[in-house]
Amino acid sequence: MDTIPNSPAARDIAYFFHPVTNARRHEQVGPRIIERGKGIYVYDDQGREYIEALAGLWSVAIGFGEPRLAKAAAAQMEKLPYYHSFSHKSHMPGIELSERLVKMAPVKMSKVFYTNSGSEANDTAVKLVWYYNNAIGRPNKKKIISRIKAYHGITIGAGSLTGLPLNHRDFDLPIANILHTCCPHYYRFGRDGESEEDFATRMAQDLEDLILREGPDTVAAFIGEPLMGAGGVIVPPKTYWEKIQKVCRKYDLLIIADEVINGFGRTGKTFACETFGIKPDMMVLSKAITSSYQPLAAVLFTDQIYQAVADNTNKIGAFGHGFTASAHPVVLAVAMENLNIIEERKLIQNAAAMAPVLQDGLRKLSAHPLVGEVRGLGLIAAVELVADKATKRPFDPIGKVGNWVFERAHDHGLIVRAIGDSIAFCPPLIIDAAQIGEMISRFRKTLDDAQAWIR
Ligand code: PLP
């Protein structure tokens, strides 16, 4: 890249190692520097405007540039900029947010534990499962089943739960005791003539077969995103969760619902556990909890787990797990104000009202020659591009066209996410009908460009 010496781009290339980026390509193309944001839009350092169709990383629910969150952070910084919650210490943001989350939860939860990221929260969930089973005298019941194409983060535990090759390859993951069952993507893995319900039955049977092969006494938990996000926005087939939960209960597996993307309105209800009738033993929350203005995640768990864990802490001295910034008061103050805004502005109701606008609008692209499947629910969706609509044949190599579309969309003022050749949409929950129309129109132009490029 022809960068001016000492320019921000040159300094970026010189010093900044970027997550989830091809480092050699980055040296050539350099960074796109985003300077500010307002509502559903962000602006780069050249003054170009983009619709942020993925809400950052699926997370900026209330939109960019909300001054109330800055004020909440500043007020808490002035009062108590930091305190921890180890060894019986507490603070009001911790007390208030915990009470609020337990009361909001769709099933009866007992306690909340805070981390700085969704990955750490999923690691915490794994450790809680292990600790719980040790506490109740089941030291062999430790394996955790996740799914192919799941995304649960990238730390050693959470990265193992993730079921995507790029997050495992050359990192020596997954670790032992983490297993993956089938991905419930009907369009890709449903068989000819198989109904969605029959496909869900087969998915549940595959889970049961895996448990039986491993030995039910060795399998402790099942973890799933109610609606899979970063693996490609995969809406579970009808009856899937009902059947999966039945298998989990039969073999006494804990159910962990990873609501990191789904939670706080994304599917049109507060939690996707309500959307799909899931009764989890643990819930993992993050992203929209602060609209990502501050890093935060939370693990909620039931009284059954709490009682066993509490007894064990009493037996061995303390719960030996916690982060310096667990329940950081400034972060929690921001979360409280963010949840106030979601409530006051009725953003979950807005997500439900805008859902058909987004879903029907994108489905109108189904006739486009490149579009194989349009899928989604609420304010989350994906458009899967294929080489052959009739046979569903993917492009070769997978991801080349998706990445081209991702890049080109910027020229039309649109930031999306390419997952292979699926283009994901997950806009801020504040989006209105006209903005959705504009977003889809920018995407359609990009698709037309892609078609011209391919042919
Ligand atoms: N779980 C889900 C469902 C996610 O989508 C993500 C991030 O995208 C994570 C966990 C990991 O969160 P973090 O990136 O904060 O570690």
SS3 per residue for the chain = CCCCCCCHHHHHHHHCCCCCCCHHHHHHHCCCCEEEEEECEEEECCCCEEEECCHHHHCCCCCECCHHHHHHHHHHHHHCCCCCCCCCCCCHHHHHHHHHHHHHCCCCCCEEEEECCHHHHHHHHHHHHHHHHHHCCCCCCCEEEEECCCCCCCCHHHHHHCCCHHHHCCCCCCCCCEEEECCCCHHHHCCCCCCHHHHHHHHHHHHHHHHHHHCHHHEEEEEECCCECCCCCECCCCCHHHHHHHHHHHCCCEEEEECCCCCCCCCCCCCHHHHHCCCCCEEEECHHHCCCCCCCEEEEECHHHHHHHHHHHHHHCCCCCCCCCCCCHHHHHHHHHHHHHHHHCCHHHHHHHHHHHHHHHHHHHHHCCCEEEEEEECCEEEEEECCECCCCECCCCCCHHHHHHHHHHHHCCEECEEECCEEEECCCCCCCHHHHHHHHHHHHHHHHHHHHHHC
* Residue pLDDT, tens place only, 42-69: 999 999 999 999 999 999 999 999 999 9
Res. 1: pLDDT tops 80: no
Would you state the pLDDT for residue 127?
98
User: Which of 116, 260, 267, 284 to mutate to test ligand 1, by most ligand atoms within 8 A of the CB atom?
Assistant: 260
* Residue pLDDT, tens place only, 247-258: 999 999 999 999
Task: Work out the average pLDDT over 192-211.
Answer: 98
Q: How far is the CA of 53 from the centre of ligand 1 (A)?
A: 18
User: Which of 54, 114, 151, 259 to mutate to test ligand 1, by most ligand atoms within 8 A of the CB atom?
Assistant: 151
230 lines ligand 1 (CB under 6 A): yes
289 lines ligand 1 (CB under 6 A): no
Q: How far is the CA of 417 from the centre of ligand 1 (A)?
A: 15
Q: How far is the CA of 414 from the centre of ligand 1 (A)?
A: 23
Res. 128: pLDDT tops 80: yes
Could you give the strand order of the β-sheet that contains 143-147, starting from the edge strand earlier in sequence? Answer: 111-115, 297-301, 282-285, 254-258, 219-224, 143-147, 178-181
Query: Per-residue confidence at 2, pLDDT binned at 50, 70, 90?
Result: low
Q: How far is the CA of 60 from the centre of ligand 1 (A)?
A: 14
* Residue pLDDT, tens place only, 64-97: 999 999 999 999 999 999 999 999 999 999 999 9
Instruction: Name 47's Cβ contacts closer than 8 Å, sequence gap at least 6.
Output: none
Would you state the pLDDT for residue 455?
82
225 lines ligand 1 (CB under 6 A): yes
Res. 229: pLDDT tops 90: yes
287 lines ligand 1 (CB under 6 A): no
229 lines ligand 1 (CB under 6 A): yes
Task: Work out the average pLDDT over 17-39.
Answer: 97
Would you state the pLDDT for residue 3?
76
User: Which of 117, 149, 286, 292 to mutate to test ligand 1, by most ligand atoms within 8 A of the CB atom?
Assistant: 286
85 lines ligand 1 (CB under 6 A): no
118 lines ligand 1 (CB under 6 A): yes
151 lines ligand 1 (CB under 6 A): yes
* Residue pLDDT, tens place only, 325-357: 999 999 999 999 999 999 999 999 999 999 999
The backbone torsions φ and ψ at residue 307, rounded to the nearest 5 degrees and listed phi first, read -60, -45
Work out the mean pLDDT of the chain and round it to a whole number: 98
Res. 167: pLDDT tops 80: yes
Which residue CA neighbors atom 7 of ligand 1 most closely? Answer: 153
